[in-house]
Amino acid sequence: MTTVTLADAQANLADLLRRAAAGEQIVITDGDTWLGALGKAPPPPPTAERDGERQRAAEKAYHEMTALMRQWCAEDGVPYLPDGAPPEALKPALPAA
């Protein structure tokens, strides 16, 4: 953890922000008074919209991979899985709620 005065923080704000973004914790003081701290913010909490985006991306990747597997099997003359849904092990895992 790095401690800087308010005057130093004002003079070197851009550098301090870069260092904080890289993970360094920086405390700003005015004399003996703690004014605040700079640090990398935690990731935003999950939202229904972001979970939906992740689900759609997982489903798209699953379908693309299934199409590639079918293509590769056809090219090699090897039967793909029987008609119908692939085994459960090949289905994408849903994100935890």
pLDDT digits over 25-71, tens only? 899 999 888 898 898 766 667 777 778 888 899 999 999 998 998 89
Distance CA 72, CA 64 (A): 12
Distance CA 74, CA 95 (A): 32
Amino acid residing at 51: D
| Res 89: pLDDT | 54
| Res 16: pLDDT | 94
Count the alpha carbons within 13 Å of 62 in the hemisphere toward its beta carbon.
Answer: 16
| Res 49: pLDDT | 79
**Is the separation of the CB atoms in 37 and 24 below 8 Å?**
no
- State the chain's maximal CA–CA distance in angstroms: 77
> pTM for the full model?
0.42
**Is the separation of the CB atoms in 86 and 66 below 8 Å?**
yes
Q: Where are the domains of the chain?
A: 2-38, 48-90
| Res 11: pLDDT | 96
pLDDT digits over 79-94, tens only? 776 555 556 655 566 6
The reply to whether CATH 3.40.50 applies to domain 2-38 is no
CB pairs under 8 A, 24+ apart, for 66-72?
66/90
